[in-house]
């Protein structure tokens, strides 16, 4: 996707304006802007996201915690004659598939972030709402109450678990996408790619310059990989694409894999493969031991640039100076893939064109 500098979107000449809650570094905002929806501002409690959000999206970053924020301050940002859109992706850790106990999920205080999204909806009274989140949230009372609240507020709602490769995103990732409208029935996006059209790891990163573990590309400071301990270099040399730690010499096995309880974690320390999609890009994608994040061919983990590209951030997206792999990796891993934001934006425009 190429950067689009137009400040005004058009669906039958309508002015459409959005605000992005829990915006992070702006993946969702960027995608909406590529769909030609003007985003007025993003709000997040993580100040370290401010530079990347504002630099790449040319709009306002509001540093605030939703738990004590007066959303009425946002009302004045919308034009009087605009179609108001409110989008957001509340931090999803409580609902992750890595969390196994439903009771623990329900009692996690972070689930209340969904309630604050409802609070914002009531204050701002947008015409259109969209929420993106992990699929695990749909199994909770939190989500059922959320649906009831926005339905009571007058929204017609559609939601679905989307498989990201069906939408041109090159990673094995499934996400909940919810859309609501006060203007009529709205539908989640139809898939844009058949299986034979899936974007692969090779399509995205194979052309990048070769680097070694711990090195940075001379021409791209974001194309940097984490250093590996000697034992991990030995492990990745013996790792095969789509293989497991079972391919290694026994002397290389971590102690946990020598126990029955650890034998199911086959993808940890794994290599990706060129001709398939990548695993889900998490906040730890630059760590070889945190999943199947080994480069398909080179003896290292993914670089920061590779993780960003697999998240569908364009090469020109400016993440700022790479002073911390951990911070930038967290920014990228927590982001909504811009491509998904683009697909959501196009679905909103199609709804407006068909409804108004």
DSSP per-residue letters across 133-170? EEGGGGGSHHHHHHHHHHHHTT-EEEEEEEEGGGGT--
Is residue 114 domain-shared with residue 237, that is, in the same domain?
no
Per-residue pLDDT 10s for the chain (356 aa) are 443 433 344 466 889 999 999 999 999 999 999 999 999 999 999 999 999 999 999 999 999 999 899 999 899 999 999 999 999 988 755 555 544 444 455 555 555 788 899 999 999 999 999 999 888 888 888 899 999 999 999 999 999 999 999 999 999 999 999 999 999 999 999 999 999 999 999 999 999 999 999 999 999 999 999 999 999 999 999 999 988 888 899 899 887 666 555 555 566 789 999 999 999 999 999 999 898 999 999 999 999 999 999 999 999 999 999 999 999 999 999 999 999 999 999 999 999 999 98
Structure tokens, 3:
């950067």
Q: In 3D, which of 61, 70, 79 has the Cα closest to residue 17? A: 79
- Residues 294/236, Cβ–Cβ less than 8 Å: yes
- Considering only CA atoms, give the Rg of the chain: 21
Q: Is 317 a member of any domain?
A: no
Is residue 234 domain-shared with residue 139, that is, in the same domain?
no
Q: Is 170 a member of any domain?
A: yes
Q: Note the pLDDT of residue 307.
A: 98
In whole angstroms, what is the distance from residue 308 CA to residue 43 CA? 21
Is residue 172 domain-shared with residue 223, that is, in the same domain?
no
Here the CATH number for the domain that contains residue 267 is: 3.90.120.10
Q: Phi/psi of residue 13, each to 5°?
A: 80, 5
- Give me the numbers of helices (H) and strands (E) for the chain, helices first please: 10, 11
- Residues 204/170, Cβ–Cβ less than 8 Å: yes
Is residue 280 domain-shared with residue 345, that is, in the same domain?
no
Q: In 3D, which of 107, 15, 27, 13 has the Cα closest to residue 314? A: 27
Is residue 165 domain-shared with residue 220, that is, in the same domain?
no
Q: Is 6 a member of any domain?
A: no
Structural domain of 235: 209-302
Q: Is 308 a member of any domain?
A: no
Structure tokens, 229:
């301990």
Structure tokens, 252:
């290389």
Q: Phi/psi of residue 61, each to 5°?
A: -105, 120
In whole angstroms, what is the distance from residue 31 CA to residue 29 CA? 5
Q: Is 114 a member of any domain?
A: yes
Q: Is 7 a member of any domain?
A: no
Neighbour tally for 255: CB within 10 Å = 7
In whole angstroms, what is the distance from residue 308 CA to residue 314 CA? 8
Q: Catalytic amino acids?
A: 92
Is residue 174 domain-shared with residue 262, that is, in the same domain?
no
Q: Note the pLDDT of residue 13.
A: 80
Q: Phi/psi of residue 208, each to 5°?
A: -70, 150
Is residue 226 domain-shared with residue 166, that is, in the same domain?
no
Q: Is 203 a member of any domain?
A: no
Q: Is 199 a member of any domain?
A: no
Instruction: Please give the DSSP secondary-structure letter assigned to residue 37.
Output: -
- Residues 162/190, Cβ–Cβ less than 8 Å: no
Here the CATH number for the domain that contains residue 113 is: 3.40.50.150
Is residue 24 domain-shared with residue 110, that is, in the same domain?
yes
How many independent structural domains does the chain possess?
A: 2
Is residue 145 domain-shared with residue 223, that is, in the same domain?
no
In whole angstroms, what is the distance from residue 208 CA to residue 216 CA? 12
Q: Note the pLDDT of residue 102.
A: 46
Is residue 66 domain-shared with residue 42, that is, in the same domain?
yes
Q: Note the pLDDT of residue 18.
A: 98
Q: Note the pLDDT of residue 11.
A: 63
Q: Note the pLDDT of residue 98.
A: 46
Is residue 271 domain-shared with residue 141, that is, in the same domain?
no
Q: In terms of residues, how long is the chain?
A: 356
Is residue 132 domain-shared with residue 281, that is, in the same domain?
no
């Amino acid at each position: 996707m190429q950067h689009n500098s137009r400040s005004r979107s058009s669906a039958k000449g309508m002015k459409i304006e959005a605000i992005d809650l829990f915006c992070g570094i702006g993946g969702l905002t960027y995608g909406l802007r590529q769909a030609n929806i003007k985003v007025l501002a993003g709000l997040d409690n993580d100040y370290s996201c401010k530079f990347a959000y504002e630099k790449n999206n040319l709009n306002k970053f509001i540093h605030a915690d939703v738990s004590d924020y007066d959303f009425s301050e946002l009302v004045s940002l919308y034009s009087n004659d605009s179609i108001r859109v409110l989008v957001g992706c509340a931090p999803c850790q409580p609902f992750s598939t890595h969390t196994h106990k439903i009771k623990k999920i329900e009692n996690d205080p972070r689930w209340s972030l969904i309630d604050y999204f409802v609070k914002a909806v009531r204050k701002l009274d947008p015409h259109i709402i969209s929420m993106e989140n992990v699929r695990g949230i749909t199994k909770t009372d939190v989500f059922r109450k959320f649906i009831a609240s926005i339905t009571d507020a007058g929204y017609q709602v559609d939601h679905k678990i989307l498989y990201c490769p069906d939408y041109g995103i090159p990673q094995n990732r499934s996400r909940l996408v919810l859309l609501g409208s006060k203007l009529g029935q709205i539908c989640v996006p139809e898939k844009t790619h058949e299986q034979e059209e899936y974007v692969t790891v090779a399509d995205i990163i194979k052309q990048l310059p070769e680097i070694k573990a711990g090195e940075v590309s001379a021409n791209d400071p974001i194309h940097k990989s984490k250093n590996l301990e000697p034992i991990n270099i030995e492990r990745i040399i013996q790792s095969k694409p789509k293989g497991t730690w079972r391919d290694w010499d026994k002397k290389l096995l971590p102690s946990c894999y020598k126990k029955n309880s650890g034998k199911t974690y086959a993808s940890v320390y794994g290599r990706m493969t060129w001709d398939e999609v990548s695993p889900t890009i998490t906040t730890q994608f630059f760590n070889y031991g945190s999943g199947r994040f080994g480069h398909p061919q080179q003896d290292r983990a993914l670089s920061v640039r590779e993780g960003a590209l697999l998240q569908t951030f364009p090469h020109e997206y400016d993440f700022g100076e790479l002073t911390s792999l951990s911070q930038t990796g967290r920014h990228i891993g927590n982001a909504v893939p811009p491509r998904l934001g683009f697909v959501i934006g196009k679905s909103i425009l199609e709804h407006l064109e068909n409804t108004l």
